[in-house]
């Protein structure tokens, strides 16, 4: 393991530095320093900041690095072994404001991304944002990111970020949210003609990316999701602008 002193030397950064790093390969990020459960993934090219460390009791060895992804402000824990996949970012990430018209012009590309993803062998992966395996919000975030539009990471965060619309006014590229009254737990991307695409797990009858019927007129999976619809929304701005 790398010691605290060694890490300071490797990074050559003052305490509390806001220096950004750029991923040179895909890295997995976890929801705790135990590194047991995947929280999200960072594709090659993404930016992050190191915000802290978790140490073991022996010789103050580093167990994990606490990080924050720059594009969506999402926190996580990075395994020390994955430091080899980071390099100091020569061009730090800066969010770019986009008009609603600019965003709408890019929607066909986001839809195409999801359909290409569905065409590859895949399964549902909690925390998955790098193909071929995604969770629901990871697929949506990655589809929009592929055309230069950043959304928050999780379904409930995406629901809070978008512009809410009546379900009868939905159009291709809008997001559909599912879950109990308290919180959105699932999201899909509307394709048009009463169909939407999403990545769903085994507990809902599928294991991966598929297309379902919004009105619930399709099979049992479509009916199950129809009963959980919370509402819909339109992406009108690029995170973190609002």
Q: By three-state DSSP, how is residue 97 classified?
A: coil
Say what the pLDDT of residue 19 is: 83
Element (H, E) at 161: helix 155-161
- Within 10 angstroms of residue 58's Cβ, the number of other Cβ atoms is 7
CA angle 94, 146, 68 (to 5 degrees): 45
User: Taking the alpha carbons of 145, 146, 148, 149 in that order, is the dihedral positive or negative?
Assistant: negative
Give the integer Cα–Cα distance in Å for 224 and 218.
10
* DSSP-assigned beta bridge partners for residue 176: 188, 232
Say what the pLDDT of residue 2 is: 45
Contact present, 69 and 77 (Cβ < 8 Å): no
Contacts of 101 (CB under 8 A, 6+ apart): none
Say what the pLDDT of residue 1 is: 45
Say what the pLDDT of residue 3 is: 52
CA atoms within 13 A of residue 141's CA, in its CB half-sphere: 30
Q: Which residue ranges in the chain fall short of pLDDT 70? A: 1-17, 56-61, 242
pLDDT tens-digit series, residues 143-183: 999 999 999 999 999 999 999 999 999 999 999 999 999 99
Crossing angle of helices 100-118/136-145, nearest 10°? 120
Residue 55 burial by CB count (10 A; 0-12/13-18/19+): exposed, middle or buried?
A: middle
CA angle 150, 156, 160 (to 5 degrees): 70
Residue among 146, 116, 155, 147 at smallest CA distance from 132: 116
């Amino acid at each position: 393991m790398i010691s605290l002193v060694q890490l300071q030397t490797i990074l050559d950064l003052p305490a509390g530095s806001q220096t950004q790093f750029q991923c040179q390969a895909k890295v997995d990020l976890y929801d705790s320093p135990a590194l047991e459960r995947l929280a999200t993934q960072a594709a090659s090219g993404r930016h992050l900041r190191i915000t802290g460390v978790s140490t073991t009791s022996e010789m103050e060895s580093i167990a994990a690095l606490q990080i924050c992804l720059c594009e969506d402000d999402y926190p996580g824990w990075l395994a020390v072994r994955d430091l080899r996949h980071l390099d100091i970012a020569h061009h730090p990430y800066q969010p770019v404001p986009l008009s609603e018209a600019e965003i709408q012009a890019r929607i066909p590309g986001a839809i195409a991304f999801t359909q290409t993803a569905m065409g590859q062998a895949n399964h549902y992966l909690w925390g998955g944002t790098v193909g071929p395996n995604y969770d629901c919000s990871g697929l949506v975030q990655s589809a929009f990111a592929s055309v230069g539009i950043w959304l928050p990471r999780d379904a409930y965060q995406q629901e809070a970020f978008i512009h809410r619309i009546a379900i009868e006014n939905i159009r291709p590229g809008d997001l559909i949210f599912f879950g109990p009254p308290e919180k959105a737990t699932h999201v899909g991307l509307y394709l048009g003609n009463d169909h939407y695409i999403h990545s769903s797990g085994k507990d809902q009858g599928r294991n991966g990316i598929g297309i379902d019927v919004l009105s619930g007129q399709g099979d049992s999976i479509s009916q199950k999701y129809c009963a959980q619809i919370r509402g819909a929304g339109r992406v009108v701005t690029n995170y973190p602008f609002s």
